[in-house]
Amino acid sequence: MSRKTKKPTFPNSYQGKNAEEYNQSTWMERNQKRTALLCIQYLYDQHLDNVHDYDVLRDIPYTILDLGSGTGFSSEILAENGFRVIGVEILKDMIYKARQKKTGHNNDLEIEYILSDINYLPLRANSIDHIISISAYNFIIHSATTSKEKIILLSQTAQYLNTILKTHGRFILEFYPADEKELNLFKSSFINKGFNGFMIQQHPNQKSGQTFLLLKK
């Protein structure tokens, strides 16, 4: 998938030859890895220490969930920075590429890839330290046709993520809401299910500017 490709559609833009093109794109790899590094920076953001009860992250091995891990670009960066990583992906073609790399030159990285729907992960309650998601969380509502359906899907997912996160677990979400209304739907879904935090927008005056939610259970 080249940089000039039109706005991707889920799941077609990430299957078959599109998955291969995505995995071979140097621009995509550079962008995903840069964003993963930014997510790590935000994970340790001092302002999150004061959300809910005061706490400070320490440099210990954390288990981090990479939601929508794709072909593994973000998971690789997380593992290279000392995290134990569980990459979650719902598309077979994407996770196949990630597993290929894992069994090849990235075999020493502590990554486990799971083919699963975000709401049906084989994980125990309170078992995950932190979560990140890069350019993928939007797609959980791809099949919803009404605002009510979107609200239900977002609410169910936020509740589930709260369940698997440990106390004070952090969630760094990078995504591209379609408009202000959709952005507010995402934000309210987390607030209503036990998360708190704040938003950061990179280049807010640009239509393609990244939006981050820095959340804490």
Residue-range domain boundaries for the chain:
12-216
Looking at the predicted structure, is the pLDDT value of residue 168 above 60? yes
Predicted pLDDT of residue 208: 56
- Residue 74 CB contacts under 8 Å (≥ 6 apart), including other chains: 32, 33, 35, 36, 39, 66, 87, 132, 134
Grade residue 6 by pLDDT with cuts at 50, 70 and 90.
low
Domain 12-216 indexed as CATH 1.10.3720.10: no
Condensed to tens digits (0 to 9), the pLDDT of residues 33-79 reads: 999 999 999 999 999 999 988 999 988 899 999 999 999 999 999 99
Q: What pairs with residue 216 in β-bridges? A: 170, 196
Percent of the chain scoring above 70 in pLDDT:
94
* Amino acid in the structure at residue 64: I
Q: Tell me, what's the pLDDT at 25? A: 96
What does the angle CA 75 – CA 17 – CA 134 come to, to the nearest 5 degrees? Answer: 25
Instruction: Please tell me the distance from the alpha carbon of residue 106 to that of residue 3, in angstroms, as a whole number.
Output: 25
φ/ψ of 74, rounded to 5, equals -70, -40
